[in-house]
Amino acid sequence: MIRNFYSFFCTCILLLVANVTNCYAQYETNLTVSLNEYTKELDIRQEFTYYNNSNYNLGVIYFNDWANAYSDKNTGLAKRFAQEFKKSLHLAKADERGKTTIISVVDDSYNGLEWSRTEGKDILKVTLGDILPPNTSTKIFITYKVKLPPNKYTTYGYGNRGDYYLKDWYLTPAVYDGQWHLYSNKNLEDLYMNVTNTVINFKFPDSLYLASNFDIKSESAFPNGQFAKLKGNLQRGGEIILKTQKDFYTHRTPYMTFLTDIKAPRYSPIGQGLSINKVANFIHNNLGDYPHEKILVSELDYNKDPLYGLNQLPSFIRPYEEQFQFEMKFLKTAINSILRETMFLNPRKEQWLNSAIANYLMIAYIEENYPDQKLMGKLSKIWGFRSFELAKMDFNDQYAFLYNLTARKNLDQALQTSNDSLIKFNQKIANKYKAGLGLAYLADYIGKEHVDESIKRFFEYYKLNNVKVHDFESILKRSTNQDIDWFFRDYVSTDRKIDFKIKKVKKDTDSLQVTIKNKEGTNVPISVFGLKKDSIVSEYWFSDIEFEETFTIPNNQEDRLVLNYDQKIPEFNQRDNWKSLKGFLSSNKKLKFTFFKDAENPYFNQVFYVPVLNFNVYDGWAPGMRLYNKTLLERPFVYDFAPSYSFREKAFVGYGKFNYRKYLSKSGLYVANYGIGASTSHFNENSRYTSITPSLSFGFRPADLLSNKREFLSFRYINILRDFDTSLQNLANDPENPDYSVFNARYINRNNGILDYNSWFVDFQLAGNFSKLSFEYEYRKLFENNRQLNLRFFAGKFLSNKTQTDFFSFALDRPTDYLFDYGYLGRSEDSGIYSQQIIIAEGGFKSFLDQKYRFSNDWMTTVNGSFNLWKWIELYGDAGLVKNKGIDGKFVYDSGVRLNLVTDYFELYLPVYSNNGWEVSQPNYGEKIRFIITVSPKTLTGLFTRKWF
């Protein structure tokens, strides 16, 4: 009785607070806008009423001017694109940019007001003529033009077919709550502005159809044009979509009205209507009444936040039923639109809560309507696919799986991390999924009904109001008697992993003493399941396990105990989550061989196998079988063996390696790698090399995970064993002892930016008959005029050298690669096409110079440079000094044309002039052309994944 009264009292207080906030002085803005389809400009006259709701006098007002983020190459948006390896905005011409041109800013007495832009260039600072006291208002009149950008940078602006998507396109008030919250446009969908009553009088061409999240109060036509009056009450920004075809249609349900262009061509219109009603009913039951007249659910919004994974495959090979696919697409877009239009959290600092609610509801929708849906859909039933662990995963298993994709790489970030500090994969996928999983985890612990009711209350009390995460926390805590401080303290506020293991189980007649170890120290609850013949016979929750605790539970004759069996907890590692109660031997995991890489199965020792095909001139095509244990998620200990058979040499070749990776922290010294590897192949006809290399390396990175800066310190001991054909003994340094060992230490410092690239290393080598030190620095700069400069400097010096040949010497144009590090297709070739392959290392020259200058057994220093003439066509030049023992140093140089098709991966070098003279006029010019080619799939995929991680 007392608890019910307390709950009723709190409800009344919350409603009172919400209503008071709602009735607080509201911002008002009226815009008169005209779209010029020829210049792609918006002519805007804006009248803004600003209320000072704070307790402080204001002398300035800030406005978000995100349309100006496209204006040049130094805005916050341009810098963000550079971090993501996107240079489209940097390379754009002046007429391909968007911008805001301010014509006048006056107050209600028509006195001109001073204005300026902040450093990011997309925040407008207006200095008031008079101080604005608390609880008073002022009017500001602004006249300006917005030049729209093409939609090749983001989805906003104008398209090639005459369509327009306007979002964050006009000036909006920045939030002031004792301090100004000024956030630049970084293409993160997180404009933070005060809730405003807005009227837009919009003129646009008569060839277009208009859709908006605002209510369309009136429409009319005039010669060659149209007029629409749009109104948004207690909303943030107005979105306008203009299309050459009438794609949007209105769908009314008993609970809400949708304006949408989402369609499924292979799903009947009647079926689509029934699915939309089904989605609307689910949303209403889980959130409540929607306060606006309609909800805009657009294909554009979906494309900004799609269902990642198999849903992004081309439609003709997607493995899901049309109904399921349509409903999930519509549900996700609708929920995101509703929360964006009603729950006014700080979208840069507290956006995780809206993501948590949205993904929690997505998970609930699957559990309620499609409990048997598999992640791989229909593929999970096809022979050849159904044996994969990935095919056995439920659809909702993807949330933990994709979160762990970054957690296993030590790239996970706390949910409360600012949106602009998240790496792209976390911002788009992992953190959103972790947030939804967190609420599902909490629901499993305290009861789903408590979380469901808390979400509905939160939506009811705080919709259309500025709200904070602690408001939701207060409601959630009142819904249960259990302690849930851990959720906000450990799960939300930190990036610490959740990882438990069953250390031991002591079995008595009527009880079991279970010892659980907290491997990461994250103090959160953990579930324990008892299984008998794969059926659940018991379930328990244990909490407050800081390090290690022992619990006593009834003995229900379980076969095994399993932590987190239903995988509701996003646990870091589940490979040690179970303990058999049938004796020691039954605890041993069985081997499971699987074709191709797969998801983890914690109950087996998985071995993956896949055919491989390698090539070099001497082995020819060498087919083989690769055996490894690396799953789709990264794991600490990895082995990898790839024996192959060379038909040309009629011998086995290949490699094998063991590696253990230990992540140490998020920044500073963050990773250590311990490894040993061996490989064997042929480096000439009937001549084999075998390398055995133990290694140790350390990685360093800054606290800002968005930074591309990395440092590495590595140590390795390379042991090379060679067998020569009798006709090739003269190639060995010592024909009677062709084997050698080299200790190699290297420090690398790299900042891999797309606009500014800096990389340097210091390398030390020590062997029985030589020691050497070398330094390399590489710099690339993409200038604002779209010219790119490439510079590289190399210097190498022998500290001691007792060798008799140039095998270990510094090379000017083609390193001998005595450490067998480089991917030569024909490493011993001195003529023919394979000899023309170039590895930019050591001297880095492109021309083949006189034999006596191609190597240095004393010291060498070179500079390589290039700059582009047009797109990927560049001019290059190399210069250096080569010094050999007993011989004066020689100045060397070359120059030519570089076809930089894909930097470091596919390039051609056409020599023009060098110490050899005019090479283009000399015979056999084709033999002088050099090329770079990379065929490693792992290296090539790095071009596409680097923007995500």
Which tens digits make up the pLDDT trace of 340-372? 999 999 999 999 999 999 999 999 999 999 999
Q: What is the pLDDT at residue 9?
A: 44
**Has residue 532 been placed in a domain?**
yes
Token pair for 803: 């060798």
pLDDT recorded at residue 13? 43
Does a structural domain hold residue 719? Answer: no
Q: Using CA atoms, how far apart are residues 143 and 106, in angstroms rounded to an integer?
A: 9
CA–CA separation, 901 vs 862, rounded Å? 24
Residue 2 has what pLDDT? 43
In a domain, 581, yes or no: yes
- Token representation of residue 175: 């939030």
For 843, which DSSP code?
A: T
Give CA–CA dist 294/233, Å, rounded: 12
**pLDDT for position 870:** 85
Domain that holds residue 510: 500-588
Question: Which residues are CB-contacts of 811 (< 8 A; sequence separation ≥ 6)?
Answer: 841, 842, 843, 854, 855
* pLDDT confidence of residue 165: 97
Residue 148, C-beta contacts closer than 8 angstroms, at least 6 positions apart = 40, 41, 42, 67, 98, 157, 158, 164, 166, 169
Strand segments, DSSP code E, in 223-275 are: 225-235, 240-243, 249-252, 257-260
The structural domain count of the chain equals 1
**pLDDT tens, position by position, 530-566:** 998 888 999 999 999 999 999 999 998 888 899 999 8
Residue 539 lies in a domain: yes
Residues of 494-522 as b/e, b for ≥16 C-beta within 10 angstroms?
A: ebbbbbbbbeebeeeeeebebebebbeeb
Residue with tokens 């929360």: 339
**Rounded to whole angstroms, how far apart are CA atoms 237 and 296?**
13
Helix (H) or strand (E) holding 424: helix 424-425
Structure tokens given for 32: 């008169």
Long-range contacts of 248-255 (CB under 8 A, 24+ apart): 248/209, 248/211, 248/298, 250/294, 251/276, 253/277, 253/280, 253/281, 254/280, 254/281, 255/280, 255/281, 255/283, 255/284, 255/289, 255/290
Quote the CA–CA distance of 467 and 876 in Å, as a whole number.
Answer: 58
DSSP β-bridge partners for residue 48:
29, 140
Structure confidence at residue 384 (pLDDT)? 82
Q: Using CA atoms, how far apart are residues 202 and 222, in angstroms rounded to an integer?
A: 13
> Does residue 461 belong to any structural domain of this protein?
no
CA–CA dist 728, 684 (Å, integer) = 9
- Residue in 872, 753, 934 with CA at minimum distance from that of residue 79: 753
Asked whether the CA dihedral 179, 180, 184, 185 is positive or negative, the reply is: positive
Q: Is residue 583 part of a domain?
A: yes
30: left (phi over 0), alpha (psi -120 to 50) or beta: beta
- Give the pLDDT score at 236: 87
Question: 788-816: buried (b, 16+ CB within 10 Å) or exposed (e) per residue?
Answer: bebebbbbbbbeebebeebebbbbbbbbb
User: What's residue 22's pLDDT?
Assistant: 43
Residue 574 is given by DSSP the state: -
Is residue 550, in this structure, part of any structural domain at all?
Answer: yes
In a domain, 526, yes or no: yes
Tell how far CA 551 is from the center of its chain. Answer: 41
User: Which 3 state secondary structure label does DSSP give 154?
Assistant: coil
Below-50 pLDDT ranges, the chain: 1-24
> What pTM was estimated for this model as a whole?
0.91
Distances from the Cα of 352 to the Cα of 334, 440, 907, angstroms: 17, 14, 44
Q: Residues 600-605: contacts with CB within 8 Å, 24+ apart?
A: 600/389, 600/574, 600/575, 600/631, 600/632, 600/633, 600/635, 601/389, 602/574, 602/575, 602/576, 602/577, 602/578, 603/578, 605/629
Token pair of 116, please? 């300026």
- Residue 866 host element (H or E): strand 859-870
Question: Which pLDDT score, from 0 to 100, does residue 585 have?
Answer: 55
Closest CA to 343 of 455, 226, 506, 499: 455
CATH number, domain with residue 568: 2.60.40.10
Q: How far is CA 750 from the centre of its chain?
A: 20
